[in-house]
Amino acid sequence: MTSVLWVLFDGGGDRPRNGATPFFTALKPVIDRLASLGSCGVMDPISPGVRPGSDTSHLALFGYDPYRYYTGRGAFEALGAGLELRPGDVAFRTNLATVDARGVVVDRRAGRYVAPEEAREVEAAMAKIGEEVERRFGVAAIYRSTVEHRGVLVLRGAVSHRVSDTDPHKTGEPLRRSQPLDDSKEAKAAAEVVNYISEAFTAYSKDLEANRRRAARGEPLINAVLVRGGGYMPTVEPLRQRYNVKGAAIAGVALIRGVAKAVGMDLYSAEGLGGTKFDKFEEAVKLAVELLKRYDLVFLHVKGTDSASHDGDFRGKVDVIERLDAALRPYEAVLEENYVVVTSDHATPISVREHTGEPVPILLYGPDVVRDDVDKFSELTCWRGALGRIRGMDVMPTIASYLGLSEKFGE
């Protein structure tokens, strides 16, 4: 069985500086050999000039129009955190935070470091509040901590995501009350539930063991939950039905795991793949190669290129690319029997430190893919290749066609 390994460097695309980009500079013999044997091109993740978020871009890359399927970050983050969402569930992102006696937010991250045992204690308190919410409002409320101060809140019932944030988004301002953003009774109900949870948590937090310890040490208390970014779980036809492709995703980042799960991919984790620029890829690549035997498509997400870019760290970005390439080296022969896609979900230029809207390089290798005369994977070279300029939404149909899995259009 021939399958596709898809390596995605998050924010990997860049703009030339002194005539070079991180992809151009990095020593990556495996990827460059695949480039020399296959087709290269450039890709607009969404469409020319659109600056993508990683979530909207991944939706497009998986073949789902983000303008139709993107319903806010909350739902994807909640899925990535391991919550089971049903179509129509409303999800928010949350921060544990510190407010003063007047309810003014003094630290949006409660000192940033929230220990795992503190997070468990908060989850237990939220479970109790959730029972009360169910009794009062007939709405299920599920809270889960993700990383440090971050978490997700899911509401299930006659509620809508059309409510404002309680998060003032800066310190020195009072915790807000959530307001319905339209006239529906579902929006009104959701705002009431969010406000109830917000007040109940602050009241409850006085009894948290974590806060007794924090008070004794003079550390910021965990006494508020900031709710933001409401979205709902869309109805998504799985990849398998839509493109006839059985997919697996290996990723460390909750948001990307959530998008992959939403489109019906099986999720995998690998040691070393946490989602930072210091990640190690040996285990992730080993797992990816094993999964090629069982899946049509194995998607490997590399976050470090984006993290290094937001830090303005050129060398760090080059290092991530080089480490990934080195991890591929033992499997060159296997890769050459399969298809390989290498690309990026958007550019995050070192000089800008934010996502930008120019196209990114893409490589498609396969035993029966046209060999063009591009022999290096980079922004400076791939535009000359046989793939030309495509969009993110074109990748999945292309993969499905090479794998012989797509249906013929017409007779």
Nearer to Zn ion, 46 or 327 (CB): 46
Taking the complex as a whole, the smallest distance from the CB of residue 390 to Zn ion amounts, in Å, to 18
Closest CA to 3 of 400, 250, 285, 296: 296
Residues facing residue 25 across a β-bridge: none
Residues that bind Zn ion (CB under 5 A): 10-11, 54, 306, 345
DSSP for 307-375 reads: HHHHTT-HHHHHHHHHHHHHHHGGGHHHHHHSEEEEEESSB--TTT-S-B-S-EEEEEE-TTS---S--
Taking the complex as a whole, the smallest distance from the CB of residue 100 to Zn ion amounts, in Å, to 32
Taking the complex as a whole, the smallest distance from the CB of residue 11 to Zn ion amounts, in Å, to 5
Taking the complex as a whole, the smallest distance from the CB of residue 341 to Zn ion amounts, in Å, to 16
Q: Hey, what are 176's tokens?
A: 């807000």
Instruction: Specify the DSSP class assigned to residue 41.
Output: E
Residue burial 134-157, b: 16+ Cβ < 10 Å; e: rest: eeebebbbbbbbbebbbbbbbbbb
Nearer to Zn ion, 10 or 296 (CB): 10
Taking the complex as a whole, the smallest distance from the CB of residue 3 to Zn ion amounts, in Å, to 24
Are 92 and 194 a contacting pair, CB within 8 Å? yes
Instruction: Specify the DSSP class assigned to residue 303.
Output: -
Instruction: Specify the DSSP class assigned to residue 269.
Output: -
End-to-end Cα spacing for the chain: 27
Are 252 and 273 a contacting pair, CB within 8 Å? yes
Nearer to Zn ion, 10 or 148 (CB): 10
Closest CA to 34 of 337, 320, 399, 249: 337
Nearer to Zn ion, 11 or 316 (CB): 11
3-state secondary structure 80-104: HCCCCCCCCCEEEEEEEEEECCCCE
Element (H, E) at 270: none
Nearer to Zn ion, 296 or 306 (CB): 306
The residue of the chain with the least Cβ separation from Zn ion equals 54
Are 230 and 238 a contacting pair, CB within 8 Å? no
Taking the complex as a whole, the smallest distance from the CB of residue 255 to Zn ion amounts, in Å, to 9
Q: Hey, what are 239's tokens?
A: 């990849």
Nearer to Zn ion, 11 or 74 (CB): 11
Nearer to Zn ion, 44 or 89 (CB): 44
Taking the complex as a whole, the smallest distance from the CB of residue 158 to Zn ion amounts, in Å, to 35
* Interacting residues of 397 by C-beta distance below 8 A, sequence separation 6+: 63, 243, 406
Nearer to Zn ion, 43 or 369 (CB): 43
**Strand-strand pairing, 140-145 and 4-9:** unpaired
Taking the complex as a whole, the smallest distance from the CB of residue 345 to Zn ion amounts, in Å, to 4
Taking the complex as a whole, the smallest distance from the CB of residue 386 to Zn ion amounts, in Å, to 26
Nearer to Zn ion, 309 or 378 (CB): 309
Nearer to Zn ion, 190 or 259 (CB): 259
Are 74 and 113 a contacting pair, CB within 8 Å? no
Q: Which residue has the tokens 């019906």?
A: 264
Taking the complex as a whole, the smallest distance from the CB of residue 163 to Zn ion amounts, in Å, to 27
